[in-house]
Each structure stands twice: as structure tokens, then as C-alpha cells.
Amino acid sequence: MQKLGILLIALFITTFSQAQDAKTLLKEVSAKAKSYDNISIDFKYNLNNSKENVNQETRGDVTLQGDKYVLNMLGTTRIFDGKNIYTIVPEDEEVTISAYNPKDDKEITPSKMLTFYEKGYTYKMDIEQNVKGRKIQYIKLIPIDSKAEIKDILLGIDVQTKHIYKLIQTDDKGTKYTLTVNSFKTNQPVSKTLFTFDEAKYKKDGYYINKL
């Protein structure tokens, strides 16, 4: 019984230490991300569900400045100016405009991509990898909400730069979403109109404007 008690105490201390180490590293990542005027990321995105025999891979890029962003992915451009989300689909010549409501935003959107883990998760240190000479430390995040659709998230962090290298999200249906950062650039020259949607221009080009 005494040995069991000692083992339980040792396990608690180890778990607590891992959680503190993970918390410290995540704070450093968050502080680093918030220190930049803007961030430009080129990434690879993979969706995989072995049970459903689904495996899709694509590339994309996103520019972030505060909460604002411009995301290019799957032939679609999404602009968020801090108030509205503009989804531009050139193939259909259509733009959908929707007001942003943070209460409805439960996904890891570009705005929250580098800071989503600050609330709503428990975390602990996971595996460590060497990727082309870079030390990548993974942290496992589990939603506090037991009803959340997300089962867990593995966040791979470049220990030297404190930049996110990979995000692996698994949902309750076994679908795995993997985002791998190919390039991470900061404080780039950004046009003042980058996050501004020019409705007149798209109307002139014959786009259908759908306001929700």
C-alpha cells in the first residue's frame, strides 16, 4: 500500500511537471506570435479518415494581422476585416458576406490559429521529433468540454524559433486534419487594402454578391 502511494505521488508530480512545461512553452509561442506586426504562412493541409477511405491534400497560404486575415485555399479566398467574413469563389463568380459572431466561432480559424490553445484545453508534453535538424516538441491538447467534437490536438512547436510547425487535429469521428507549415514569414510589407473587400470591383466583374 505504501509503495502504491509513493507511485501515485510520483505520477502526480510527473504529470504536473509536464503540464507546467507545456504551459510555459505555449505561453512563449503565444507571446512570440503577438509580438509580430503581421505573419505570412505557406502551408500544406491534409484531411484523412482511413475508415471512410478519404485522403485529401492541398496547399494554401494565409496572411495574419491581429484578428484580420486573408486565406487562400482550394481555389477560394476568404477575407476577414475584423467585422465581416468575405468568401470569394472565382469559379462560381460569387462572394458570400457574413457578419462575424465570436459566439458561433468554435473552429480553429486563421485568427485563432496561433493562440486557440490559450483557453478550453488541458495539455501535456508529448513526443519530440527532429525535422531536418529542427527540434520539434509536440504538446497534446484535450478539450475541457467533454461534448466537444474535437477529440485531441497535437501541436508541434519549433523549440528554437517558438513558431508552430504542425497542427494535427482529430475529431470524434476519427477524421484527422493535419496542417504543416512550409514557410513562416513575419513583418512583411503589407498593402493597406489587403484586408479590405472592394464590393464595387466584384460587382463590376459580374460577381453575384450574397449577403447573409
Contact between 59 and 75 (Cβ < 8 Å) = no
| Average pLDDT of the chain, as a whole number | 84
pLDDT for 6 beyond 70? no
Q: Report, as an integer, the average pLDDT of 2-12.
A: 40
* pLDDT given for residue 194 in this prediction: 94
The helix (run of H) or strand (run of E) holding residue 9 is helix 2-34
State which amino acid sits at residue 97.
I
Q: pTM score, two decimals?
A: 0.81
CA dist., res. 205 & res. 198, Å (int): 11
- Residue 10: pLDDT band with limits 50, 70, 90: very low
* pLDDT given for residue 9 in this prediction: 38
The helix (run of H) or strand (run of E) holding residue 2 is helix 2-34
CA dist., res. 39 & res. 36, Å (int): 7
Phi and psi torsions of 173, nearest 5°:
-105, 5
- Residue 187: pLDDT band with limits 50, 70, 90: very high
